A = this chain, B = another copy of it.
Amino acid sequence: RKTYRIAVIPGDGIGKETVPEGLRVLDAAARRFGFDLSLTDYDWSCDTYAKTGKMMPDDGLDRLRDSDSIFLGAVGWPGVPDHVSLWGLLIPIRRGFDQYVNLRPCKLMPGARTPLADRGPADIDFYVVRENTEGEYSSVGGRMFEGTEREFVSQQSILTRHGTDRVLRYAFDLAMTRPRRKVTSATKSNGITFTMPYWDERFAEMAKRYPQVTTDQFHIDILCAHFVQHPDWFDVVVGSNLFGDILSDLGPAVAGSIGIAPSANINPEKAFPSMFEPVHGSAPDIAGKWICNPIGQIWSGAMMLEHLGEKAAADAIVRAIEAHLAEGGPRTRDMGGNAGTVDVGKALAEAV
């Protein structure tokens, strides 16, 4: 019987409400599919910051290092600036553990409501693969002539061959596991003329190694338009840190799943633990009321199990979510019902 060590970080706001429901469903899956989860809780959050001046202890990454995966709720709270909360917890984990792939399914679930007219589940089912460690989110930049009329700021965007090739490879490998075998590249080489042409070059190189994969590429402006007009065109979409960030919010929005979408921050080589978190944030407006929707967290749990090698258990959770949405199980307010967070978690644990 296998045991997986999971580091659990509920974080801020509704993360404290969704994570227990995520764990409830994971626990049900573990019992049914015959494996164990050994959980270690970490209370790192903006609360911790208020008490200690740090989002996580100095040896935070070391404490997480031996876990098989990290299960995260949400990070961020009003009053604590993002460069403190996110750059003190979320970003250091992504980078420190070289989680260079950020993966998000964009899938119109049966029974979910897309804002698009005349679109059904068969039309929207793709993945966004985002580079998660370099690119536009760089640490190189600064300000000159501060406080004067000549003031300016500058920030570099950096693409390395190492960083670019490995995320492209992941996207092509993922496409090979899917029936359509198609990869779309997000670029902007007509406007951003140093970094993006390089991205195109590496994409073309990588495509040569995967002759069975169909490819195309669009500039990010028209690609965003196509997400709205032709979501059925896409299978696997790969983009830089910023472009992937944009597309992996727009994709779930188009699929009507932004409140329930999961995401995975993956180190594919498993040299470090990977991290799984819902796309939604800490939602200060509804936190503390136990009315938030835990499906994003639960779905993130399914992605975690898949990464750990428990594919059957992962599929069972995703099927339970699909059935739940299609058959009208208890719904939280955001989905037009009045069930509580716990009701949904219990129903899904039951179904698994």
A residues apposed to B, CB below 8 Å: 82-83, 86-87, 114-118, 136-137, 139-143, 148-162, 188-195, 197-198, 220-222, 224-226, 228-229, 241-242, 245-246, 248-250, 252-254, 258
Distance (whole angstroms) from the CB of A248 to the closest CB of chain B: 7
Task: Name A228's contact: one of B83, B87, B115, B190 (CB within 8 Å).
Answer: B115
Task: Name A87's contact: one of B152, B193, B250, B253 (CB within 8 Å).
Answer: B193
Residue contact B228 to A189, C-beta cutoff 8 Å = no
Complexed CA–CA distance, A80 and B83 (Å): 43
Complexed CA–CA distance, A149 and B161 (Å): 6
Chain B residues near A249 (CB, 8 Å)? 221-222, 224-225
Residue contact B157 to A155, C-beta cutoff 8 Å = yes
Complexed CA–CA distance, A229 and B114 (Å): 9
Distance (whole angstroms) from the CB of A169 to the closest CB of chain B: 14
Complexed CA–CA distance, A160 and B193 (Å): 20
Residue contact A141 to B228, C-beta cutoff 8 Å = no
Complexed CA–CA distance, A153 and B189 (Å): 13
Task: Name A150's contact: one of B161, B190, B224 (CB within 8 Å).
Answer: B161
Chosen A-B contacts, 14 in total, with CB atoms closer than 8 Å, are: A83-B193, A136-B192, A139-B193, A143-B194, A143-B198, A148-B161, A150-B161, A151-B160, A155-B157, A220-B245, A221-B245, A221-B246, A222-B249, A246-B246
Chain B residues near A189 (CB, 8 Å)? 82
Chain B residues near A242 (CB, 8 Å)? 188, 191-192, 220
Measured CB to CB, the nearest residue on chain B to A157 is B155
Chain B residues near A254 (CB, 8 Å)? 228
Chain B residues near A197 (CB, 8 Å)? 83
Chain B residues near A160 (CB, 8 Å)? 150-152
Chain B residues near A190 (CB, 8 Å)? 82-83, 86
Task: Name A116's contact: one of B82, B86, B115, B136 (CB within 8 Å).
Answer: B115
Residue contact A153 to B143, C-beta cutoff 8 Å = no
If the complex has contacts A115-B116, A115-B117, A225-B253, are A245 and B191 also in contact, measured as CB distance less than 8 A?
A: yes
Measured CB to CB, the nearest residue on chain B to A165 is B149
Complexed CA–CA distance, A82 and B217 (Å): 14
With A141-B193, A155-B195 known, 12 other A-B pairs at CB within 8 A are: A137-B191, A141-B194, A150-B161, A152-B158, A154-B157, A154-B194, A157-B157, A188-B242, A221-B250, A224-B253, A226-B253, A246-B246
Distance (whole angstroms) from the CB of A228 to the closest CB of chain B: 5
Residue contact A154 to B152, C-beta cutoff 8 Å = no
Residue contact B192 to A220, C-beta cutoff 8 Å = no
Measured CB to CB, the nearest residue on chain B to A250 is B224
Chain B residues near A224 (CB, 8 Å)? 224, 246, 249-250, 253
Distance (whole angstroms) from the CB of A186 to the closest CB of chain B: 11
5 closest pairs, A vs B, by CB? A141-B194, A225-B253, A82-B190, A155-B194, A221-B249
Chain B residues near A149 (CB, 8 Å)? 161-162
Complexed CA–CA distance, A48 and B45 (Å): 61
If the complex has contacts A137-B192, A154-B157, A194-B141, are A229 and B246 also in contact, measured as CB distance less than 8 A?
A: no
Complexed CA–CA distance, A241 and B194 (Å): 16
Complexed CA–CA distance, A194 and B146 (Å): 13
